[in-house]
Amino acid sequence: MTILRDWSGIAIAGIFACAIGSVTPINAAERQQPDKFSNPLELTTPDPLLPGGLNRPLSEAERQTLRTALDQLDTEANAKLRSGNVSAAFEIWNRELRLRRALGFLEEVQALGRVGNVAWVQNQSNQVRFITNRLSAIQTQVQQPLKNQVTLPDRAQILPTLGIAFQQVRSPGLALKVYEQMLTEARSRKDAIAEVNLLNTIGQLHLSWFDYPNAISTYTELLDLTKARNDAQNVVLNLMQLAYTHEQAKQPAQAATYQQQLLDIYQKNPQQAALIPALKIRQGDNLAASNQLDAAERAYQDAFQLAQPLLQLAYASDALRKLGSLYRSNNRLDAALQVYEYLAGVQQQAYDTFGVMDAFDQIGQIQVQRKAIPEATTAFQQGLEVAKQINYRVDYFTEQIQKLQAAK
């Protein structure tokens, strides 16, 4: 084994024992026992893997050997966790995290995030708090680069890694502070690409935590920014995000407005024509949900008419199905009947047996509402024939026919 020496010239044999075997355990007499309220990441007891302490600079060879030892600790902790010994697993991880400091903020933050995620999943609230506190301490130092010159070379990597780590410990507010700091700096150096990317990250973070008002505000800012820069691709992406976010926020009317802006863009580009039917259907859903029934009807009709020549039979069927449902819900039975009769033909063309069966079911129900018993019976009989082919809902259609015959 290579013998390393510290600056005082004292030989340190076996400083990184994992290079040839298992990681050196901490002797029971050497282990500093914390009380249950202390942060185990702040213990200062010397460790066999780093007897020179955290402040002694390491050579690249020493760094790599330590890194290997710490990876071995992570492996051992995972093994303990799998065996059900959660406390022992986190005792090992805490040792790893303490020693990771010797490798610099970047590697320490990556490890803190990794272990923090496990702690959150395992419902180890104290451990999550310890890790979050350490991340916050690092954030304070990293965000004051002039007072911590040693952190400057890695600072551009440390900040986004901090943002990810805060997300791993489920602290979106702290993650946002990191990204907002990065956004301020990107704007100060007029880095347009970084500005857009960071706003996207912030928007996604708001969205993932169901903070729809702030997500909408962020994506609106992004949309205005990308429009001002004539960034066509990101304009489309932001319109999509705004439509989706308004849908999640139960604001269908606003979602439909952004979908219309998307449609206006697609209609100007023949290569995007195939995207229109599906978007029209979704817009129709939002218009119907916001009680704009005439507009919803037009959206579904447009979707069907555009889908057919594109041979998008699934979208054509979906548009007809939604149009028929819209008519039925508004007691426009004759119009609904016409739609479902046409739908049955489209489903047959698409070889959608289940769709054909459902269309005949809808026709039968509408005819019952219209008190057209012979026509209802015929529709249910057609549905029964299809049901027998796939051995599905046979009893249902048989029962409907029997009810109608008994009512005569």
pLDDT in tens, 82-106: 999 999 999 999 999 999 999 999 9
Question: Tens digits of per-residue pLDDT, 354-385?
Answer: 999 999 999 999 999 999 999 999 999 999 99
Task: Categorize the per-residue pLDDT at 195 as very low, low, confident or very high, splitting at 50, 70 and 90.
Answer: very high
* pLDDT tens track for 231-274: 999 999 999 999 999 999 999 999 999 999 999 999 999 999 99
- Which stretch of 12-16, 274-278, 293-297 has the lowest confidence by average pLDDT? 12-16
Rounded to 5 degrees, φ, ψ at 209 are -105, 20
Q: In the prediction, which pLDDT does 45 show?
A: 82
| Tens digit of each residue's pLDDT (9 = 90 or more) over 315-344 | 999 999 999 999 999 999 999 999 999 999
Confidence of residue 36 (pLDDT cuts 50, 70, 90): low
Comparing CA positions, the residue from 246, 245, 239, 236 lying closest to residue 205 is 245
Judge whether residue 5 has pLDDT over 70. Answer: no
Distances (CA, A) of 245 to 226, 253, 280: 18, 12, 17
The pLDDT, as a whole number, for residue 145 is: 52
Exposed/middle/buried for residue 78 (C-beta within 10 Å: 0-12, 13-18, 19+): middle
The domains found in the chain, sorted by start residue, are 331-408 (1.25.40)
User: Percent of the chain at pLDDT above 90?
Assistant: 81
- In the structure, what pLDDT confidence band is assigned to residue 407 with cuts at 50, 70 and 90? confident
Contacts 24+ apart (CB under 8 A), 119-123: 119/90, 119/169, 120/168, 120/169, 120/170, 122/81, 122/86
Using the predicted structure, report yes or no on whether residue 34 has a pLDDT greater than 50. Answer: no
Nearest partner of 377 among 407, 353, 333, 355, judged by Cα: 407
Q: What is the pTM of this model?
A: 0.82
